[in-house]
């Protein structure tokens, strides 16, 4: 396929044209290079090429503010498209939206150019369900849910995905159903993690290792798969799980239905950065230190392991809490852009792990990137405070690694461990 990527942000387009990927995604740079080199992929700020396309995919941001969808990016994109659509084209919306937006917002805006959806052009909603850091692998393996404006639109979208990606197609009987598929996925994930986080809090007071409990609990079958309790952590961040459940909640509220599980799960997950700060304070106290006297080395500031993405990262409230308590905080994240870290966190990040770790009373591993495996805390032991404690926000160190830390004089505390 010949692909044209259109974005209003000239800096993002220029960055891609210079062969730079903003996010760490295995295999993505190679795909970008081969697309640009072969001429099959072009990136531009110009909407002009839309008229030549057979299929137009909309994937603009759909943030939420005060539980309501901020739809101006979506509206602007549809308005730009409206005047350029021609007969026979297929438009696919991939941005996550509340149920009804494809039909009630996108379709009328696209029709404002004079063509009629279902007659002159097709429209389908196909949710984007990939997770950052595994996106290409999941793209090649995950089924694609398709909901069409009409049967012809649905058939055209299914044929397009079959030809381009070739994965299984899940036929939804309406666009609203496909919109809900995406929201149900993220509602489930956020809810599941909230349960894992509360399980971790309980395991901590029972002096039981939450990972052992989860691993064993997940061994029985239930429904069509296994029990699948996800992992507790320093918190839930990123641009999707922090907003999509609110889309669900608002969609229900607007129809006179109150959903209890969404706010509860959000509250639990939002409590985790504060819980992590409390763990650090407790462990420092155990070692006879107060937060105000301590240097904390934070390793990993991204919202999840193996990405450099700082959007809604739960590490930010942790760092803020530590600094408010008077601690000196050094941060290190080899995957995050140092200028962005400085902007978001208000501190210049350390250039190397040893620089961040020097003199540390506490090492807080809050995103555990694979390359951190090369940092040997034990080998650097002399450069840290004698009572240094490791607080594990999502590294999920093995029992062997924890025993080794302890043999070399480190304290260790994990979320629920």
Under the rule (CB under 6 A), what is the footprint of ligand NAD? 6-9, 12, 59-62, 73, 76-77, 80, 95-96, 128, 130, 132, 239-240
How buried is residue 371: exposed, middle or buried, by Cβ count under 10 Å (0-12/13-18/19+)? exposed
Question: Which residue is associated with the tokens 């894992």?
Answer: 196
Taking the complex as a whole, how short is the minimal distance between the CB of residue 313 and ligand NAD, in angstroms? 13
Nearer to ligand NAD, 77 or 363 (CB): 77
Write down the least CB distance from residue 29 to ligand NAD, Å. 17
In this structure, the strands spanning 122-125 and 144-148 are antiparallel
C-beta closer to ligand NAD: residue 64 or 234: 64
Compute the least distance from the CB of residue 243 to ligand NAD, in Å: 7
Residue nearest ligand NAD by beta-carbon distance: 61
195-204 in b/e form (b: 16+ CB < 10 A) is: ebbbbbbebb
Strand, helix or coil for residue 242: coil
Q: Which is nearer to ligand NAD, 7 or 270 (CB)?
A: 7
List the structure tokens of 197.
Answer: 């986080």
SS3 328: strand
DSSP 344-375: HHSSPPPSSHHHHHTT-SEEEE-S--GGGGG-
CA-to-CA separations, 332 to 184, 207, 323, 402, in angstroms, rounded: 35, 30, 16, 21
Judged by CB, which is closer to ligand NAD: 172, or 296?
Answer: 172
Is 82 or 347 the residue whose CB approaches ligand NAD more closely? 82
Q: Which is nearer to ligand NAD, 59 or 287 (CB)?
A: 59
Nearer to ligand NAD by C-beta: 132 or 179?
132
3-state secondary structure of 261: helix
* Residue with smaller CB distance to ligand NAD, 183 or 319: 183
Task: Report the length, in residues, of the chain.
Answer: 417
275 contacts: CB under 8 Å, gap ≥ 6: 197, 201, 415
- What is the distance between the alpha carbons of residues 13 and 8, in angstroms, rounded to a whole number? 8
In this complex, which beta carbon is closest to ligand NAD, that of residue 239 or of residue 387? 239
CB of 101 to ligand NAD, least distance (A): 10
Please name which of 275, 295, 300 lies closest in space to residue 387, comparing C-alpha atoms. 295
Considering the complex, what minimum distance in angstroms separates the CB of residue 254 from ligand NAD? 19
> How many angstroms separate the CA atoms of 379 and 186, rounded?
41
Query: Shortest approach of ligand NAD to residue 202 CB, angstroms?
Result: 31
Closest contact distance (angstroms) between CB of 129 and ligand NAD is 6
* Cβ at position 77, least distance to ligand NAD in Å: 4
How many CA atoms lie less than 13 Å away from 317 in the CB half-sphere? 19
If the CB atoms of residues 135 and 347 are measured against ligand NAD, the closer one turns out to be 135
Minimum Å gap between C-beta 61 and ligand NAD is 3
Q: Least distance to ligand NAD from the beta carbon of 229, Å?
A: 22
Nearer to ligand NAD, 94 or 404 (CB): 94
| Cβ neighbours for 413, distance < 8 A, ≥ 6 positions apart | 279, 282, 283, 389, 390, 391, 392
Which residues, 6 or more positions from 152, have their beta carbon under 8 angstroms from its beta carbon?
118, 122
Q: How far is the CB of 97 from ligand NAD (least distance, A)?
A: 7
Alpha-carbon distance 297 to 410, whole Å? 14
Query: What does each C-alpha distance from 134 to 131, 138, 227 come to in angstroms?
Result: 6, 6, 22
């Amino acid at each position: 396929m010949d692909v044209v990527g259109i974005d209003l942000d000239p800096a993002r387009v220029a960055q891609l044209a210079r062969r730079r990927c903003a996010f760490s995604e295995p295999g993505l740079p190679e795909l970008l290079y081969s697309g640009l080199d072969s001429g099959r992929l072009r990136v531009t700020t110009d909407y002009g090429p839309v008229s030549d396309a057979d299929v137009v995919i909309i994937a603009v941001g759909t943030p939420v503010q005060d539980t309501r969808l901020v739809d101006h990016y979506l509206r602007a994109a549809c308005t730009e498209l409206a005047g350029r659509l021609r007969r026979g084209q297929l438009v696919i919306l991939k941005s996550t939206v509340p149920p009804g937006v494809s039909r009630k917002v996108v379709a009328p805006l696209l029709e404002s150019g004079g063509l009629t959806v279902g007659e002159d052009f097709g429209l389908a909603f196909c949710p984007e369900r990939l997770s950052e850091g595994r996106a290409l692998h999941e793209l090649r393996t995950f089924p694609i849910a398709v909901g069409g404006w009409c049967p012809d639109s649905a058939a055209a979208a299914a044929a397009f995905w079959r030809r381009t990606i070739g994965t299984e197609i899940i036929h939804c009987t309406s666009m609203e159903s496909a919109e809900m598929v995406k929201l149900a996925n993220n509602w489930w994930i956020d809810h599941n993690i909230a349960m894992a986080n509360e399980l971790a809090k309980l395991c901590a007071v029972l002096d039981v290792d939450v990972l052992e409990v989860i691993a064993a609990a997940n061994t029985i079958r239930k429904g069509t798969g296994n029990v699948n309790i996800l992992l507790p952590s320093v918190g839930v961040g990123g641009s999707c799980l922090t907003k999509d459940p609110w889309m669900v909640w608002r969609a229900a509220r607007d129809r006179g239905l109150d959903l209890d599980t969404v706010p509860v799960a959000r509250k639990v997950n939002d409590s985790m950065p504060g819980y992590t700060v409390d763990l650090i304070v407790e462990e420092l106290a155990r070692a006879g230190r107060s937060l105000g006297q301590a240097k904390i080395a934070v390793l990993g500031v991204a919202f999840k392991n193996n990405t450099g993405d700082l959007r809604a990262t739960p590490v930010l409230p942790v760092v803020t809490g530590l600094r408010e308590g008077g601690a000196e905080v050094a941060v290190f994240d080899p995957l995050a852009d140092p200028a962005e870290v400085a902007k978001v966190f208000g501190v210049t990040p350390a250039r190397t792990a040893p620089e961040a770790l020097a003199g540390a009373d506490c090492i807080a591993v809050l995103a555990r990137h694979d390359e951190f495996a090369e940092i040997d805390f034990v080998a650097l032991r002399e450069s840290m405070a004698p009572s240094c404690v490791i607080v594990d926000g999502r590294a999920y160190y093995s029992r062997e690694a924890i025993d080794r830390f302890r043999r070399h004089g480190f304290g260790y505390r994990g979320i629920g461990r």
